[in-house]
Chains A and B, each alone.
Chain A
Amino acid sequence: MKIDAALVSKVARLASLEISPEETEELSGQLTRIVEHFEELRTIPDEELADAPDPSPTPMRLDRVGAERDLGFAERNAPEFAHGHFVVPRVVSRND
């Protein structure tokens, strides 16, 4: 399957990545080569795949509040931090 420039751009947008036209061109060639090699998986007959056991589900931890962590750690690593919160651009305005 060919991963053309339009598909590279679409996937890059989904992944929040900005890719230059030169990079798009290069990635199109590389990803096509990789995905074409992976087409090998299609040679396995569907009936064999249907026979594959389902993966066991990942065990989950209980979602409960634990010991509070010192916020100083978050503040030291954050690009912008104020009044105990991460600062982000306004996403909702009064008119919304």
Chain B
Amino acid sequence: MSVVDRLLDGPAAELARAVRERQVTAVEVAENALARVRAAADRHGSYLSFADELALSQAAEVDRLVEHGENLPLAGVPLAVKDNIHVETLPSTAGSRILAGFVAAESATCVKRLVASGAVVVGKTNCDEFGMGSSNENSAYRPVKNPWDPERVPGGSSGGSAAAVAARSVPLAIGTDTGGSVRQPASLCGLVGWKPTYGRVSRYGLIAFASSLDQAGAFARTVEDAALAFREMAGEDPRDSTSLRTPVPDVLSRMRKGVEGLRVGLLLEAEAEGGLASDVRASFEATAEALRKAGGSIVEVSVPRVSMAVPVYYLVATAEASSNLARFDGIRYGARRGDGDLASIYTGTRSAGFGPEVKRRILLGTFALSAGYQDAYYGRAQRVRALLRRDFDEAFRKVDAILCPTSPETAFRFGAKTADPLQMYLADVFTVPASLAGLPALSVPSGLSSEGLPIGMQFIGPVDSEPVLFALARSVEESAGVSTLRPPDAL
């Protein structure tokens, strides 16, 4: 195994150190990673486009800066970007036919920040169309296979980003998380994945799904890499009016201080609401016990409206989607269909360009906002959302973070839930509450099931609690010892 191969199999932080110390060049790393990206695309369908020219030019710039003594935290780290996040000169399809051929004019702020820190974009990753899905089976291009078992889904909607990191094509990838689209695939692919406090990472350059929920997040194989990505992505952006203006909390120093004295609440509703698989329940209990041994204090805590979170989420998110996706009308971009008058272009373009799940959600959202139904559905959902937020505020008077499984089950087989959309939605029960409340949350690998599939645990904290969440995740990483395991179908 070459030095570059060994570095690409390991953590991003070590790879960046090797580039900074000039043991390897960023160009050597990029060339190797680009070959891996193609192999991962063939094997798992995890990529939709490749960034050879851009990657080699960014890598050459990293080498030049390193030579001039620049201390880049992510020097030469290959980065995969979900296809609903813009990268200058690369296609952005968001996994949809309606955006086939669209090329981004500018990079998203979070991408710009990572590139300024030394990251090198090597490809765009496959995803559920417009981020709508929990299995990546809603990509208009191809489904993504889970490197832990290619007969199973990687989760979604950022399934391509998760599979890309799990398969060792890149050490770091970014995705978007509207209701769990980073955390759930991280859990199903044995990775660390986080979503920030709402507003902590700019949404500028993300293709909008549900603006009051959408956030960018990252996937990594270690907690330290995930925290490093947070530090580099977070920060104020005048181009996103919802971007937070308060200082970014320091995650790396707090993370190393351990969990002694932290109060962790076990979500009381986890058992009743989740329909937990037995392996997941056992891992939940084992994680709580390990945290107790590491010095944390464990109590039970209730967030009663968690039981309402799936209906609230699917009414609010689809209502916002029906509005956001109105822009796809075949006039300014996308594959235009239909002739004659303007209305037939709108209808022809949208009917041919959107896939079944996107149409279903647009219809649900349009219904929830339509005259006669708005108060009973969308209006009521917004009120319950406010009550859920208050439930979380109450809970965080007693605990520093809440622990629950990320997903009630491990990776499922292709087609297992496609016939019944409601079943697919209900599996989001543990990830949507933090999204609705605008809270930071992360998933960390906590064990393997009897079938050898990864299990993930989620920590949810109050606004700006990312430092505590990464500290807790690091403790789980140390006690569970599964982060370093290689999936059987890795490259």
Contacts and interface: CB of A to CB of B under 8 A. Distances in A.
Interface of A: 3, 7-8, 10-12, 14-19, 27, 30-31, 33-35, 37-38, 40-42, 44, 48-49, 51-55, 58-61, 69-70, 73-74, 76-80, 86, 88-89, 91
Contacts of B362: 15, 17
B384 A44 contact: yes
B311 interface: yes
A34 to B, nearest CB: 5
Contacts of A11: 363, 366-367, 370
A38 B341 contact: no
Contacts of B422: 30, 33-34, 37
A20 to B, nearest CB: 9
Contacts of B350: 15-17
Contacts of B346: 16
Contacts of B380: 41-42, 44, 49
B359 A19 contact: yes
Size band of the B side of the interface?
35 or more
Nearest to A59: B241
A-B interface, 4 closest residue pairs, ranked by CB to CB distance from nearest: A79-B336, A73-B105, A38-B311, A52-B386
A53 B390 contact: yes
Given A18-B348, A42-B380, A55-B386, A30 B360 contact: yes
Nearest to B376: A42
Interface centre among A10, A38, A42 (most CB of B within 10 A): A38
Contacts of A19: 351, 359
Nearest to B348: A18
B341 A48 contact: no
Given A55-B386, A73-B105, A60 B314 contact: no
A18 B332 contact: no
A41 B308 contact: yes
Contacts of A34: 314, 364, 421-422, 425
A38 to B, nearest CB: 4
A16 B241 contact: no
Contacts of B385: 55
B148 interface: no
A77 B387 CA distance: 43
A51 B370 CA distance: 25
Given A38-B315, A89-B345, A79 B387 contact: no
